[in-house]
Structure 1
Amino acid sequence: MNHNQASLNSSSAKLKMIVSMVIFGSIGFFSERSNLQSVELVFVRCVCATLFLSTCWVLTGKYKEEKWSKKDIFQTLVCGVFLVLNWVFLFKAFEQTSVTVAISIYHLAPVFVLLLGAILYKEKLTLISVMSLGICFIGALLVSGINAGTSMSDLLSSGVVWGLLAAFFYAFTTLAGKGIRELSPYATTFLQTLVGIFMLIPLVSFHSFSELSSINWIVVATTGIIHTGIVYLLFFDSLRFLSSNVISVLVFLDPAVAILLDTLLTGFRPDILQSVGIVLIFGGMGLTMMKTKKKPDYSYREGESVK
């Protein structure tokens, strides 16, 4: 591949990544207007993603090139379980708190990846990394509004716990998917969302779908087809042409758009302490990313799960 072609691919990939992150940043806004609970909404997402991406997989002929291995399949299925739990807890957080608070807590995931990587893979944490973890932890406390007088019931109803669980399972998804090598993004996502369908179908209240208005159905279809199917295609198509550093910067567009929409369209106004907390979380996360770029790469890559 010549230099001009490589440059063109890189520019196109950046545009696809930007579009995918901007679209995904609006998912909290749409989920709040779907009139569905978290389990039902994630079920729709899994069904839409499975149908949409498997169709693209077949039409592009990529299914003929797959190299199936027991190791990759097992890891993909494990990732699928973690990914679905991540989605359910994230949407549950959206139900219980503002998008801004939920998305800020949720984006502690890269910090948890660093911490869990140190525990599971015996990676040594540097002083800067420990400081970054501390900064993010303080930021999360400020954003959540937790204080000495917060009861357990208040904590559970605040949505903070759900956001933390979503972040933890996102971190587990990233770490578990680290070794997937042979399967294409289409096969990986197909298996993961298929797992989600079988996981959630016993828990889904199908009666809730009969109560949706036409507007609700438009929102649900948008979340399933656009926020999952199309975003996945754009995201996966861009990964192979971008460096981890570029990806790490562009993923900040997701929470930026989410917080902007929450402020402009839903009227959420973080107080001073919450605003400081948001800055601390993303500042600490950015510092963590910069200081760990030479270590084993836990950033997004082709074949791994996404949001």
Structure 2
Amino acid sequence: MNKMVKGRIYTLIGAIGWGLSGACGQYLMNDSAVSPIYLTALRMIIAGVFLTILAFFKQPEQFKTLISTPKEMFQILYFGIFGLMLCQLTYLIAIHDSNAGTATVLQYTCPILIVIYVSLKEKTAPTVMEFAAIFFALVGTFVIATHGNPFNLSLTPAGLFWGIISAFTYALYTLLPGKLIYRWGSLIVTGLGLLSGGILFYIGSASWQYTIQWKPYTFIAFIGIIGIGTIFAYTLYLEGVSLIGPVQGSLLASAEPISSVFFSIILLGEVFQGIDIVGIVLILIAVYLITMKEQLQEKHMRIKH
């Protein structure tokens, strides 16, 4: 198996694992009364421990240099709180107030927010492809939220609100660690960010006060969201992206909302109407257009140089 094929398979499996984690999170919050706050803290700490240990053994010299640099560690903690923690917490709250499939699709409007942010920052108008992506994303979100009737929300107001907020926090998660990942690599930054942010959030939120209603599938769902949907998914995804590059990686990551909808239907019995699928497809088209635009830019740069 060549490097590119292996990278695509790893990335795709990682994205599907993330989709599974949303369904497992929905089960834990709705059926086992697990607080989104407690679940966020626990998920970050356990996954952070594993990924940090993995980073230490894979990149020992870089790891030792990084943890002995207070300024860099502060930046990782900042990313852990305002990138990783906020992204995961708002996503889980959105799932709690809607469902895993809808929350994941709404979160995937994030690339459109990044396009708008970059355009405003650089004071340049979006390209035709970017305008088309923004249009598809807005229409898709409108369709999912209203089923075409602007006077009637098909989602709860809280579900829609937190779904959109999770897209903003996902944008922060994407934008914040750019320089850190360039200097230290995504595995170290993600591992330490999850661990440090998770510990601080656990203490700050007093997560030990929350209780769990243990049911037959509760433990399995914890394995699904933490073991498969976080540790396994992050490890495979990061390895895959290192082989195929971030542009192809982000395109294949679009399997996450599709798999999240699939697992919501198969495992949780959620019902999606035809109009919901139309909205989902429109948002995925928007993500695809943004990713293809980045791929075209990458090819142009290679040809130019």
Whole-angstrom distance in 2 between the partners of 1:131 and 1:148? 22
CA deviations 1:253-304 (Å, max 9, x no partner) are 211111112223333332333222112111122122222435589xxxxxxx
Q: 1:256 to 1:44 in 2, by over 3 A?
A: same
CA deviations 1:218-275 (Å, max 9, x no partner) are 3224322222122222122222210334213311221111111222333333233322
Question: Contact between 1:52 and 1:225, CA under 8 Å: does it hold in 2?
Answer: no
- Aligned partner of 2:289 in structure 1 is 287
Q: Secondary structure at the match of 1:293?
A: helix
Q: 1:72 to 1:126 in 2, by over 3 A?
A: farther
- Aligned partner of 1:226 in structure 2 is 228
- Aligned partner of 2:7 in structure 1 is 13
- Aligned partner of 1:301 in structure 2 is none
Question: Contact between 1:44 and 1:220, CA under 8 Å: does it hold in 2?
Answer: no
Q: What is the CA-CA distance between 1:170 and the residue it aligns to?
A: 0.8
In terms of mean alpha carbon deviation, does 61-70 or 47-56 score higher? Answer: 61-70
Whole-angstrom distance in 2 between the partners of 1:18 and 1:24? 10
Q: What is the CA-CA distance between 1:215 and the residue it aligns to?
A: 3.2
- Aligned partner of 1:53 in structure 2 is 51
Whole-angstrom distance in 1 between the partners of 2:276 and 2:229? 28
Query: AA paired with 1:249?
Result: L
- Aligned partner of 2:99 in structure 1 is 98
Whole-angstrom distance in 2 between the partners of 1:251 and 1:61? 24
Query: AA paired with 1:273?
Result: I
- Aligned partner of 2:302 in structure 1 is none
- Aligned partner of 1:138 in structure 2 is 139
Q: What is the CA-CA distance between 1:73 and the residue it aligns to?
A: 3.9
Query: AA paired with 1:163?
Result: G
Whole-angstrom distance in 2 between the partners of 1:213 and 1:74? 40
Whole-angstrom distance in 1 between the partners of 2:298 and 2:104? 26
Q: Percent identity?
A: 19
Query: AA paired with 1:97?
Result: S
- Aligned partner of 1:170 in structure 2 is 170
In terms of mean alpha carbon deviation, does 66-75 or 196-205 score higher? Answer: 66-75
Whole-angstrom distance in 2 between the partners of 1:32 and 1:115? 31
Q: What is the CA-CA distance between 1:164 and the residue it aligns to?
A: 0.9
- Aligned partner of 2:25 in structure 1 is 31
Q: What is the CA-CA distance between 1:154 and the residue it aligns to?
A: 4.7
Question: Contact between 1:72 and 1:183, CA under 8 Å: does it hold in 2?
Answer: no
Query: AA paired with 1:65?
Result: Q
Query: AA paired with 2:51?
Result: L
Structure with the larger helix share: 2
Whole-angstrom distance in 2 between the partners of 1:245 and 1:267? 34
Q: What is the CA-CA distance between 1:106 and the residue it aligns to?
A: 1.0
Q: 1:32 to 1:129 in 2, by over 3 A?
A: same
Q: What is the CA-CA distance between 1:142 and the residue it aligns to?
A: 0.8
Whole-angstrom distance in 2 between the partners of 1:289 and 1:209? 42
In terms of mean alpha carbon deviation, does 208-217 or 16-25 score higher? Answer: 208-217
In terms of mean alpha carbon deviation, does 31-40 or 185-194 score higher? Answer: 185-194
Whole-angstrom distance in 1 between the partners of 2:114 and 2:214? 38
Query: AA paired with 1:56?
Result: L
Q: What is the CA-CA distance between 1:98 and the residue it aligns to?
A: 2.2
User: Is the aligned partner of 1:62 residue 2:62?
Assistant: no
Q: What is the CA-CA distance between 1:116 and the residue it aligns to?
A: 1.4
In terms of mean alpha carbon deviation, does 113-122 or 208-217 score higher? Answer: 208-217
Whole-angstrom distance in 2 between the partners of 1:273 and 1:218? 32
Query: AA paired with 1:134?
Result: F
Contiguous gaps of at least 5 residues in structure 1: 1-6, 298-307
Q: What is the CA-CA distance between 1:85 and the residue it aligns to?
A: 0.6
Contiguous gaps of at least 5 residues in structure 2: 300-305
Q: Secondary structure at the match of 1:32?
A: helix
- Aligned partner of 2:217 in structure 1 is 215
Moved over 6 A (4+): none
Q: 1:118 to 1:76 in 2, by over 3 A?
A: farther
Whole-angstrom distance in 2 between the partners of 1:258 and 1:210? 24
Whole-angstrom distance in 2 between the partners of 1:143 and 1:13? 33
CA deviations 1:26-55 (Å, max 9, x no partner) are 112111222212111111111111221122
Q: What is the CA-CA distance between 1:133 and the residue it aligns to?
A: 0.4
Whole-angstrom distance in 2 between the partners of 1:243 and 1:210? 40
In terms of mean alpha carbon deviation, does 212-221 or 81-90 score higher? Answer: 212-221
Q: What is the CA-CA distance between 1:97 and the residue it aligns to?
A: 0.8
Whole-angstrom distance in 2 between the partners of 1:129 and 1:175? 18
Q: Secondary structure at the match of 2:204?
A: coil
Q: What is the CA-CA distance between 1:205 and the residue it aligns to?
A: 4.0
Question: Contact between 2:11 and 2:237, CA under 8 Å: does it hold in 1?
Answer: yes
Q: 1:123 to 1:197 in 2, by over 3 A?
A: farther
Q: Secondary structure at the match of 1:270?
A: coil
